[in-house]
Amino acid sequence: MAGGKESPRQKMIGMMYLVLTAMLALQVSSAIIEKFILLNNSLELSSGAANKINQETVLRIKAAVEKSGNRASDVTVMKQADEVRKASADVINEINGLKQQIIQEAGGGMNEQGAIKNPAEEEKVAQMMIGANKNGKAYALKQRLNNYVNSLSNYGNQKFQPLALDGSQDPVASTNPDQRNKDFAELNFAQTPVAAALAVLSQKQTDVRRMEGEVLTYLASKVGAADIKFDRILAMISSESKVVAAGAKYRGEMFIAASASGITPRMSLNGSPVRVENGKGIIEFTAQGGGYNAEGLARRVLTGTISFPTPSGRDTTVRLEHEYFVAKPTYQIETGTLPPLYLGCSNKLSIQSPSLGALWAPTFTADGAEIIPSGQKGRITIVPNRAQVILNVNNQGNLLGKENFRVSRVPKPSLEVRVNGAALDERRGVPASGARSLQVLAIADESFKNFSPEDAQFRVNQIQVSLARGNRRVAGPITLNGGGSISSLAQQAESGDRYVVEILGVQRRNFRGNISDVEMGNQTRIIPLY
């Protein structure tokens, strides 16, 4: 069968053929003989109707050729249509001759009512069509039918299956163990009554007319196909750029473009085929960078071809070139302070690209750090976990650059001692009888606090306070959670004594709320008493 959809009439004929083939595999009764006669009559009517349609197609071809001025290419198509009609008629006539022979020699001719005298006769059909040594007329018929099908390939690109199939090739018989090993003659004419044999031959005639019709339809489409009729009009606007800044001029051109619905041009771009829809080539590719000039632009040229048929019968090709420029994507990294970043902290970065504007849709990955999106374009939080971080900046799937960051450890806080809530002046000291409370604060580095305030939260969580006199401890130590009352020590304090404060623990809470110890080494503060 040829490619494409079958018409309802073709589907009906195909179904009738399947029924016929199935019935041939059965022992038929006299009632079924009548059904074969009706089936044969129906097939002959279908074949006649198809013949009329095919003749009208030929007449349309001839009218189109005359209307186009009898061009050589169109006249050739008209001659091919006549050849197809003649080849089909020859096969149809040969089959008609076989049908008459079967009626006369096997069916005993026609009675006075115009009916076959012996429509149920099987043996004479087999002798005539199969023969004692497989030399019957069906073998020549098989060759004739398949040669006809092969000849149709000279007139177009349709590919048809053979008309005469052996049992192993037939879609119905191949599924039946009793039929699949039979050849074409045995499958269609063994144990086959006259009425069924006529229906088989009529089915082949309808197949011939169907194939003939498909080839003629194809030939009709070629007549006048070289005429380019621009029947599809489009209004177009071509602009220098789809993006224009406020206050700048918008420049472009307005025009009409036309295409022909009767042809599908072939298009290519830079040597590769282009998909064509409704006469327009669809171009889409990822612009490649490199080779930028001092202004950050790289010149590119698209080379294309469009080929279409002309009235001469030959294709013509139009070549075109289109210049465009690829802009080097740039971006800027904005931070609260300049790098380096801080280890384990929430380093907030803003990475923007004024040159890409609305096309800026970045994504980020990093080696040596965790990336936390903010939900805002280009704004991220980067949390380093190594001493060196490589940030990969991508836009719409394209890598724009890699940024290297040094990573610094969180600076240690400074320690501040407060007595009775006031900062201690270690050179002066405090009155022996006046000190009642003591507190030690951990003060974050100012630049670190400005860069990442959520990570600059320190506290002293444990201290020990002792009262010393000369070279000995006279009271304590007492342990405080970063600060508290020292009244128990003050009651024993004398002028010239000193408080010895040991800082045992400092902690930091990060942006996630996690608390960690800060290694401060041995930290001791002396508070002189006067």
Mean pLDDT per segment of 10 residues, for the chain of length 530 residues?
54 60 52 84 90 93 87 90 94 94 92 90 93 92 94 84 90 87 91 91 93 91 65 69 58 75 80 85 79 77 82 72 76 58 87 79 91 89 90 85 87 90 84 86 89 89 89 88 86 87 91 89 88
pLDDT at 105: 92
Encoded tokens for 175: 């599924």
pLDDT at 9: 58
Secondary structure of 358-410 as H, E, C letters: HHCCEEEEEECEEEEECCCCCEEEEEECCCEEEEEEEECCEEEEEEEEEEECC
Bond prior to 340 in cis (omega within 30° of 0)? yes
Contact, 503 vs 483, CB < 8 A? no
Q: Which fold has domain 332-408?
A: Immunoglobulin-like (2.60.40)
- Angular region, 291: left φ>0, alpha ψ -120 to 50, beta rest: left
pLDDT at 26: 47
CATH 2.60.40.60 domain span(s) along the chain: 332-408
Element (H, E) at 89: helix 72-101
Contact, 242 vs 195, CB < 8 A? no
- Alpha-carbon gap, residue 407 to 404, rounded angstroms: 10
- Alpha-carbon gap, residue 394 to 361, rounded angstroms: 8
Continuous H helices in 245-314: none
pLDDT at 499: 87
Contacts 24+ apart (CB under 8 A), 153-158: 155/80, 155/83, 155/84, 155/215, 155/218, 155/219, 156/215, 156/218, 156/219, 157/218, 158/2, 158/3, 158/211, 158/214, 158/215, 158/218
Q: Which fold has domain 414-528?
A: Immunoglobulin-like (2.60.40)
CA 292 to chain centre: 32
Task: Decide: helix, strand or coil at residue 2.
Answer: coil
Contact, 379 vs 348, CB < 8 A? yes
Helix 137-152 with 72-101: angle, nearest 10 deg: 170
Residue 154 DSSP class: G
Helix (DSSP H) and strand (DSSP E) numbers for the chain = 9, 25
Torsion of CA 117, 122, 123, 129, to 10 degrees: 100
pLDDT at 32: 81
Encoded tokens for 432: 């022996």
CA 114 to chain centre: 66
In sequence order, the β-bridge partners of residue 391 are: 366, 403
Separation in Å, CA 511 to CA 143, 210, 375, 456, 505: 89, 80, 18, 9, 20
Global pTM reads: 0.44
Location of structure tokens 């320190």: 458
